[in-house]
Amino acid sequence: MALLLSLSRAVDWFNQRIGWIASWCVLIACFISAGNATSRHAFSMSSNAWLEIQWYLFSAMFMLGAAHTLKMNEHVRVDIVYANVSPRAQLWIDLLGAIVFLLPAAVMMTWLSWPVFVKAFVSGELSKDAGGLTRWPVMMLMPVGFLLLTLQGLSEIIKRVGVLTGRYELRDKYHHLVQ
């Protein structure tokens, strides 16, 4: 279990850094959006490339930020049942949900999105819009994002098992000890 918890800490550390990158994508997208709007209205100049880079940054925010969101326990869940059960029952819900739903879906999406990226990369796929960008960088975000989500899902499973077996203390998003 100690080795698995070390792996979990490494995955958490890595996804924390990737989440930081995703956060910066928000700010960069805002500046590009403001700059593009200003140039369009003030100088009657615009570019499809600037619009597409905003789309790429949004994709990076979402695909790279998903694992960090899971790590921070900020993902969407239906709290009707979850909020009304004990912390131990919540751990079991998290564990079973990750094993039954999260991991199979994330692994499948990683597997299915890889050929999409490879095809775009090999063909040198370009946007159909005038002045558009190369598509493979944004296509690469799909398998990378789902792989990061898979790894974070495994990390969350390891931590939940650690808490349930008494080998790990999990703190929730409010830094309260969960047991």
CA dihedral 56, 57, 60, 62 (to 10 degrees): -110
Among 101, 91, 93, CA closest to 161: 91
- Write down the mean pLDDT value for the chain: 88
- Of 22-31, 46-55, 120-129, 154-163, the range with the lowest mean pLDDT is 46-55
pLDDT band at 177 (very low <50, low <70, confident <90, very high): very low
Among 62, 66, 64, 90, CA closest to 78: 90
Instruction: Note the pLDDT of residue 81.
Output: 81
CA–CA gap between residue 157 and residue 175 (Å, rounded): 19
Q: What is the tens place of the pLDDT at every residue in 27-60?
A: 999 999 988 888 888 888 877 788 889 889 999 9
* Position 67 pLDDT exceeds 50: yes
SS3 134: strand
Among 162, 175, 174, CA closest to 6: 162
Q: What is the mean pLDDT of residues 109-137?
A: 90
Q: What share of the chain in percent tops pLDDT 70?
A: 94
Helix, strand, coil % over all residues of the chain, rounded to 5: 75, 5, 20
Instruction: Note the pLDDT of residue 125.
Output: 87
Alpha-carbon dihedral sign for residues 73, 78, 82, 88: negative
CA–CA gap between residue 72 and residue 80 (Å, rounded): 20
Instruction: Note the pLDDT of residue 167.
Output: 79
